[in-house]
Amino acid sequence: MENKDSLGEKELLDKALGGWRGLVDSALPSLLFVVIFVVQKDLNLALITSVVAGVILLVIRLFEKKSLTQVIGGFFGLLFSVFLTWRTNDASNFFLTGIITNLVYGIVLFISLIVRRPLLGYLVGSLVGNTSGWLQDQLLVRAYTTITWIWVGVFSIRVGVQVPLYLADNIAVLGPIKIFMGWPLYLFAAWISYRIVQTARKKS
């Protein structure tokens, strides 16, 4: 039986996603890259601007003495994307890291469902102080299975939509689509997942 002292929606968002600031921080460098590249057609300027934005966000977090988990992870991902894009001189490769990341996440979550150990159950369980006890509660198992399927869907949709645009080298469309399918879709799926889990925990 899982502890019924549930996390609030804001607290769960803060712990799992880095809060609203974490979501904005992760989207801003990509947004600047897309806007500058599409408007100015200057790849180097777009890359430099995105890196500068990432550095500024990192410095602000350091001064605020807040959690750096989301920012550091996003910053190193940004650096890799910038390096790959610069080396290949292909703007579409700025989005390749994100596409591969979504593919890997989707596959890992799908495998966890196949072996009947929904991975998001362990994630949420760790946040509420009950990492594996939920396996003894069929209601919670079904809830965590459901939200894991939701996230498999999110990652699959991202890959399915973005790969054709990437292959077509359609940056003007790929950029906005990537941003829209980033934190807005993430928030929507997180909200649905939160509701499903909270309902199950109250009944368990």
Distance CA 135, CA 130 (A): 10
Residue 74: per-residue pLDDT: 73
Give the single-character DSSP code of 68: -
128 pLDDT above the threshold of 80: no
Q: How far apart are CA 23 and CA 36, in angstroms?
A: 21
Q: Residue 202: how many CA atoms within 13 Å on its side-chain side?
A: 8
Locate the domains of the chain by residue range: 9-203
pLDDT score of 13: 47
Give the mean model confidence (pLDDT) for residues 127-146: 87
Q: What is the mean pLDDT of residues 53-73?
A: 75
Percent of the chain with pLDDT over 70: 84
Give the mean pLDDT of 89-109.
Answer: 93
